[in-house]
Structure 1
């Protein structure tokens, strides 16, 4: 990798990164005319691209609402709370899961705030690997940046694959409700995941021009689906007592320490709440990115966490006894069927499928943008092919296709061994979290050494140092 340059030629990096200076260090007359004339690009966008040494190749089609939809539908916190927290129930029970969820989202807020500030300092599709390159000591700058780029890529690839698998399990659940005797052979299940992948590819290539509208519609569906799901469950399901929900802790982990058991279940909690950095990788497609992107990162996290907490409380009160929840392979089916209506169960599963599949479209788009950006800085083999832009639609088709092939390979692993696939997904979470740790840690080091930082329109101010320290410790 050649590092992130302060100047580019033909999309290739040509130099070594330096921390960005003040706006006054740059002459407005040096801003390329293409950056100034890009649709919906602000003067600040053009100035940021100049300071980052990047050529404006994307159209800036995303505004605040469509950007908010991008993150919210990818995070899909309340949706994943319902479908993905079986591990937390097994390791902690009702109360253990609830209090672990609450503590995790409070602590994780510091991480989101730090990432949002860096997104304001350097609003580039590269995200974490670029931030590491900007803030890391020069002695290890390239190594750490290169490592962050690869970990981010691997993490996003596995994340995109996992979302497709979750969508496929919802299709499987619909079939099982109709015919309890039917089971999907592994090859059929894999074919379903590959078919879903093909659909996401279409939305990210020939349908890519409609992504902002799709994300806006998905945002409203995210909220409407929440109401349509939660209200009937409260009305129709028998309820557990508040004592059971908030004080009933169990430990099935095999460890003597219950706190350790809850930490094992925390993996599922983090999975439901991560993904705020997805918007960073389309920063070059957002109008007024250095302000809109960090604002959306922060508020989408707050909104999704609130919806997630309400969804979790609903699940814990309405799912039935803990034994019933633990003795079913699909706890959310137990939750929906507890309403006493099979028709409602169908409707709720379809709602979850549509919303989670919409998030899969976002996941592929995010991953392809990260791959494009890293290739633009020569981080991959065949980078010159990967960073080519489809001129008519201003989309990185080659990056989308290459990303999709890698995701397909991961899905095929599930055909041979579901355990191996789940292990890869767990490692993806670790990979992405490590990029957060690297970028925030490098920023913390600069603050400790009182070194100059790039300007940020969304700044943590005097709280920067303590929040960086808290976030680094949390990671």
Structure 2
């Protein structure tokens, strides 16, 4: 493990900054025994030195940092120095290997199960050809986005990901504003994705109930209430079952792969009425009421949703060995693996889809469950396969709420949210950001509630989730292109750096796709358009952006200074995986 040390510079201004960041101002020998190891140390440090012998001879007390990154972050304070916060060491345990990080990312991205959860969108808007060819196209342009993010991640391997990259790369005059906006997009995407995941799990649960009891009619409020229960389950686990969650996470990758193989093999082996190749790859289906071209555009929402969240390794840089090389590799490999598993899954499902009209109008309201039943001819077999996806979704619910709460905590720590001091509190007993978890739960349930008022609420939340992620992906790509054409381009030299023209081309293709997708996410999915089937994505995002704007002008404009990233880049990377003593730091206003 490569250790690193930090030493904060004494002074009134520095003391104030450290106190605002969550440090205890003074730790002396007299109060060392009462020092709370779960205090929220919220930054790796201010100024960095690479001198392992600086205090090597002094008596040291090792304390777990605690609440959010435990056990990857350790604070070491010298008990022989009176003001220990001004001479603190910190070291990062980089426990993740490349394979481990790919597994972590695949467990979050899990393209194939995401595609199965929103299969109804693809079935109604274009059918198998749009799903399959759309998936191939989305995978290709997503690789452009992934390579662009990998290039930035290799140069700046910081846990803030796109939120931090924008701050580093944007012009100084607007970097706070753009970083702030990117942070809001990230939070929208994560929390809406959590709500979408709860919707998918609720649909699979109620779909099984209808399958075994055809007399049961699924109501919208049933789906919302079950989604609430799933969200509350995730809340309970995040607040009081962190150890259980950790054990569950360790087996998530294996369970995901086994479930994928079990479902694909079962439906292919049991199905005796497979569709023709022309049906799968050529015959266009349209149940939207729109023209064929419009239906095809709407159908892209399904593969676009399936290929999302692959930025996850960027947020784990500080726990990854040789981060500047391995984190970008994990980002790109996640897209390749997701593209392959998603393609195999879609091929299997589309050949086994049976009567497309019956599947599109299934009383279970989940086309995949109908495909399971048509293939196995068994309620029990269908429910077993559907339950595998429910279990995966429950694990995703826990992970997405944890990620959302962590993002809320971090963003409020930088004064990017209203009531930041309250949201960034950490409950000492369980060492969890309880307020952030509760807020994340409330926001997810609010997204779920959209389904009360509109039959297309499910598609609306999917669009909000995907649009939030895609806009956060687009911001750093946009900043790169602006800097290139304005003559302020900063040449990236990390291990994954591309040649300038290749980089610009890949950035442009990726940005064009992201912006196009974000526009189409606002289209209604059925025609004629009524108040019930209207797509309210733009309205929902508009309200959130209005809150963000009000927060900016009333508080964040004065208090938000961007992410605390100085020095972290070279320390985590070492620089670019080396042991260089050089430390680059973005200037602060």
TM over 0.5: yes
Question: Cα RMSD (Å) of the superposition?
Answer: 3.3
Of the structure 1 ranges 461-470 and 400-409, higher mean CA displacement relative to structure 2 is found in: 461-470
Select the residue among 330, 352, 364 that pairs with 1:296: 330
Q: Does 1:388 align with 2:425?
A: yes
Cα distance in 1 between the residues matched to 2:125 and 2:490: 45
Q: Does 1:145 align with 2:167?
A: no
**Cα gap change, 1:276 to 1:147, in 2 (>3 Å):** same
Residues 160 and 360 of structure 1 are in contact (CA less than 8 Å); yes or no, is this contact kept in structure 2? yes
Q: Does 1:460 align with 2:460?
A: no
Displacement of 1:296 in angstroms is: 1.8
Q: Does 1:321 align with 2:355?
A: yes
Select the residue among 178, 181, 190 that pairs with 2:224: 190
Match of 1:52 in 2: none
Select the residue among 187, 208, 221 that pairs with 2:242: 208
Structure of higher CA gyration radius = 2
Select the residue among 310, 315, 338 that pairs with 2:374: 338
Instruction: Looking at secondary structure, tell me which structure has more helix per residue.
Output: 1
**Cα gap change, 1:383 to 1:453, in 2 (>3 Å):** farther
**Cα gap change, 1:193 to 1:62, in 2 (>3 Å):** farther
Cα distance in 1 between the residues matched to 2:222 and 2:395: 22
**Cα gap change, 1:385 to 1:459, in 2 (>3 Å):** farther
**Cα gap change, 1:454 to 1:204, in 2 (>3 Å):** farther
**How many residue pairs are counted as aligned between the two chains?**
446
Of the structure 1 ranges 371-380 and 29-38, higher mean CA displacement relative to structure 2 is found in: 29-38
Displacement of 1:410 in angstroms is: 2.5
Match of 2:386 in 1: 349
**Cα gap change, 1:96 to 1:408, in 2 (>3 Å):** closer
Select the residue among 267, 277, 282 that pairs with 1:247: 282
- What 5-or-longer segments of structure 2 have no aligned partner? 1-13, 23-46, 75-88, 515-589
Matches within 5 A, 1:111-126: 111-126=145-160
Select the residue among 2, 11, 21 that pairs with 1:12: 21
Cα distance in 1 between the residues matched to 2:456 and 2:170: 36
Matches within 5 A, 1:87-106: 87-106=121-140
Displacement of 1:174 in angstroms is: 1.5
Q: Secondary structure of the equivalent of 2:481?
A: helix
Cα distance in 1 between the residues matched to 2:389 and 2:427: 33
Residues 200 and 361 of structure 1 are in contact (CA less than 8 Å); yes or no, is this contact kept in structure 2? yes
Residues 74 and 360 of structure 1 are in contact (CA less than 8 Å); yes or no, is this contact kept in structure 2? no
Of the structure 1 ranges 226-235 and 148-157, higher mean CA displacement relative to structure 2 is found in: 148-157
Cα distance in 1 between the residues matched to 2:94 and 2:361: 49
Match of 1:439 in 2: 476
Match of 1:71 in 2: 105
Q: If the length of structure 2 is used for normalisation, what is the TM-score?
A: 0.68
Match of 2:50 in 1: 28
Q: Does 1:362 align with 2:399?
A: yes
- Relative contact order: is structure 1 or structure 2 higher (C-alpha 8 Å, sep ≥ 6)? 1
Q: If the length of structure 1 is used for normalisation, what is the TM-score?
A: 0.83
Cα distance in 1 between the residues matched to 2:90 and 2:407: 15
Matches within 5 A, 1:160-199: 160-199=194-233
Residues 62 and 212 of structure 1 are in contact (CA less than 8 Å); yes or no, is this contact kept in structure 2? no
